[in-house]
Amino acid sequence: MSSRPKPPIDLDSLVFSGKMQILRANAIEQYSKMEASLAQLLAYLAGTTDKAASIIYFQLMNTRARTTALEQLLQMKHRAKYDIHWHGEPGSPGKPGKPGLFALIRQADDQRNRIVHWRTVAMTNADSAQQSHELAMPDYWYRSPEKPPKQITAADLEEFILKTEFIHRSINMFVWALSRSQHLPPDALQTWHEIFRQPALYPPLDSHPLSPNYKEPGSPPQSSEG
């Protein structure tokens, strides 16, 4: 019996919105970079190799369990030395709290689940009759009447990509500064050690090396045209 050849996939019929699908793919790719950084963090905190840590980390499918394990390993290795950076500062009357890197990681985990499992829907603007696309919870999923789910727009995906990139690069620098300090210049090493004693604010301040507005100390001012 001969098998019939399969017809080629009609990609045009599958594509809802090129921009949304590209952003969604980039968001998932950026999240995978964050996961790789977290696996390297596990290797550093547990004192094992990257390969051994990857076996452990990627077998833990529950993201909250993975983060809890990292919290405990960080406490075991460094005690409270970097608590403000990773756990943030609690608020007080008239003074809002500041989040830590673990809070940003949990936010990325929650948003990643929506990005992966939600579906693309077409939205029509009543005023202009123009169509846009968003990610929405599937119709058959349960919805809380008190807190209806907010759909994910292209702008939300762009923000997720930038935020997750910040998390992934922050984790990398933490591991590098504490385990491979010989690869960093002394002034850069001092800067990062100061950062690790502060809350992990996002968006970062302009003085933060991972800020898109960051300028190297001593760099000449940019000339303005006009």
Per-residue tens of pLDDT for the chain, all 226 residues? 556 666 666 655 555 557 888 999 999 999 999 999 999 999 999 999 999 999 999 999 999 999 999 999 999 999 999 999 999 998 888 888 999 999 999 999 999 999 999 998 887 776 656 678 899 999 888 888 888 889 999 999 999 999 999 999 999 999 999 998 888 899 999 999 999 999 999 999 999 999 999 988 765 555 444 4
Token output for 152: 């994910």
Q: Going by C-beta distance under 8 Å and a sequence separation of 6 or more, which residues neighbour residue 159?
A: none
Closest by CA position to 45, among listed 68, 64, 22: 68
Domain ranges of the chain: 16-116+154-195
The pTM of the full predicted model, rounded to 2 decimals, is: 0.86
Closest by CA position to 70, among listed 98, 44, 51: 44
Strand partners, 152: 135
Q: How many CA atoms lie within 13 A of 97 on its CB side?
A: 10
Element (H, E) at 31: helix 18-46
Closest by CA position to 37, among listed 165, 212, 207: 165
Count CB atoms within 10 A of the CB of residue 81. 13
CB 163 within 8 A of CB 104: yes
CA distance 102 to 104: 5
